[in-house]
């Protein structure tokens, strides 16, 4: 399971690059020395490309905007190569262009067979990329196919 948190509780001044953050998603694939292999480097580069952040790979993570940071943590989750991706409020703090890019990537991942679980309060975007929904407001309110739940 790959996880993208709503926000990272990290020291944004810590001297870690975008590439190094994405490489953290590869730790489960590395040997005990945590020395990245050529495959790890290639996967991290591909993940940065998928979220359109390649040009920022050497930049310190704290120098990025909120939307750029979100894309880096999405790339870190992609680097884990899990079959299930859990995203907590993935559109918080991102502009419309970044939201669209994230939605397109989630649709692509779903078509490739990944299971995508998203926690969100932004119901407007849900029909664009969700096949099924579970609506909770303290208790279960509704669940099922998106087109059925959104007509209730």
Domain ranges of the chain: 2-121
Residues 30-46: tens digit of each pLDDT: 888 888 999 999 999 99
pTM of the model: 0.88
Residues 85-141: tens digit of each pLDDT: 999 999 888 888 889 999 999 999 999 999 999 999 888 888 888 999 999 988 999
Q: Is 84 exposed, middle or buried (0-12, 13-18, 19+ CB in 10 A)?
A: exposed
Fold of 2-121: Rossmann fold (3.40.50)
Q: Is 136 exposed, middle or buried (0-12, 13-18, 19+ CB in 10 A)?
A: exposed
Task: Answer yes or no: are the C-beta atoms of 63 and 55 closer than 8 Å.
Answer: no
The pLDDT > 70 percentage for the chain reads 99
Indicate whether 152 pLDDT > 60: no
Residue 105 DSSP one-character state: H
Residue 142 DSSP one-character state: E
Residues 1-12: tens digit of each pLDDT: 999 988 767 788
Q: How far apart are CA 16 and CA 148, in angstroms?
A: 45
Single out the residue of 129, 21, 7, 35 nearest to residue 80, CA to CA: 21
């Amino acid at each position: 399971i790959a996880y993208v948190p709503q926000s990272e509780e990290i020291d944004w001044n810590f001297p870690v690059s975008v590439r190094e953050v994405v490489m953290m998603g590869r730790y489960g694939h590395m040997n005990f020395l945590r020395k990245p292999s050529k495959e790890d480097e290639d996967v991290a580069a591909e993940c940065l490309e998928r979220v359109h952040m390649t040009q920022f790979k050497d930049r310190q993570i704290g120098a990025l905007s909120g939307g750029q940071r979100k894309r880096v943590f999405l790339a870190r989750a992609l680097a884990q190569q899990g079959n299930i991706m859990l995203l907590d409020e993935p559109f918080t703090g991102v502009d419309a262009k970044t939201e669209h890019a994230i939605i397109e990537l989630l649709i692509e991942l779903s078509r490739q067979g990944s299971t995508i679980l998203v926690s969100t309060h932004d119901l407007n975007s849900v029909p664009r990329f969700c096949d099924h929904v579970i609506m909770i407001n303290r208790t279960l309110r509704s669940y099922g196919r998106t087109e059925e739940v959104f007509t209730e």
